[in-house]
């Protein structure tokens, strides 16, 4: 009985607080953070791992690159959901790949900083993406390092700026459609 009375119980202010939950590690697929958006798998690589990820996806059966495009999030920095560990940047390159054997689609979202809008090309892996990369450069100013023909594709060669950037001055010119009321 005496041993039970000798036991000291600390009922201080910290005793009632549960231990903090450990921060969960982000879920990974092909070695990069993965999320699901509207039932579709979305991968979030960093720029250094972008080409290696596309190579792994190609080896896994994602042979068809459906499209590649740029997105400018100027004015909407918090307007998208990204997994922990992925820093939102002004620009994003979005790549959609298909696996015909498994009838599956995968999306890749690559964050691109405004102060260094350069990502490596994947045109050597998916030759059909070459013009998509040129369009993304032409309209958003996101350059693709190692691209075989980085020239403009839609705008005249002497055009200054990138018209789909939200802060590009020529993009602010209102368009008057034929037959529309003035």
In the prediction, which pLDDT does 170 show? 62
Higher pLDDT, 42 or 169: 42
CA 47 to chain centroid? 10
Q: Is the pLDDT of residue 58 over 60?
A: yes
Q: Give whole-number Cα distances, 153 to 46, 140, 143, 159, in Å.
A: 27, 12, 13, 11
Query: Would you say 68 and 92 are in contact if contact means Cβ atoms under 8 Å apart?
Result: no
Distance CA 28, CA 86 (A): 12
Distance CA 34, CA 43 (A): 5
Q: 64-96: per-residue pLDDT in tens?
A: 999 999 999 998 766 688 998 999 999 999 999
| DSSP-based three-state secondary structure for 96 | strand
Distance CA 176, CA 181 (A): 9
Q: 13-31: per-residue pLDDT in tens?
A: 555 566 666 556 669 999 9
Q: List the domains of the chain with CATH numbers.
A: 27-169 (3.30.460.80)
Q: 95-109: per-residue pLDDT in tens?
A: 999 999 999 999 999
Q: 128-149: per-residue pLDDT in tens?
A: 999 999 999 999 999 999 999 9
Distance CA 64, CA 60 (A): 12
In the prediction, which pLDDT does 168 show? 83
In the prediction, which pLDDT does 8 show? 46
| DSSP-based three-state secondary structure for 37 | strand
Q: Give whole-number Cα distances, 37 to 69, 80, 93, 106, in Å.
A: 17, 11, 16, 10
CB-neighbour burial class of residue 44 (10 A; exposed 0-12, middle 13-18, buried 19+): buried
Q: Is the pLDDT of residue 7 over 50?
A: no
């Amino acid at each position: 009985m005496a041993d039970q009375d000798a036991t000291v119980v600390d009922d201080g202010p910290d005793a009632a607080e549960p231990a903090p939950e450990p921060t969960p590690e982000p879920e990974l697929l092909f070695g990069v953070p993965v999320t699901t958006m509207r039932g579709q798998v979305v991968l979030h690589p960093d720029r250094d791992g972008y080409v290696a990820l596309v190579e792994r996806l190609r080896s896994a059966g994602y042979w068809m690159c459906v499209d590649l495009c740029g997105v400018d999030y100027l004015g909407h920095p918090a307007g998208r959901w990204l997994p922990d560990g992925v820093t939102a940047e002004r620009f994003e390159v979005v790549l959609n790949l298909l696996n015909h054997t498994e009838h599956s689609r995968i999306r890749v979202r690559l964050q691109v900083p405004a102060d260094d809008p350069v990502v490596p090309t994947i045109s050597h892996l998916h030759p059909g993406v070459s013009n998509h990369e040129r369009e993304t450069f032409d309209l958003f100013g996101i350059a693709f390092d190692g691209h075989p023909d980085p020239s403009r594709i839609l705008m005249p060669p002497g055009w200054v700026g990138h018209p789909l950037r939200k802060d590009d001055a020529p993009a602010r010119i209102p368009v008057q459609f034929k037959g529309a009321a003035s």
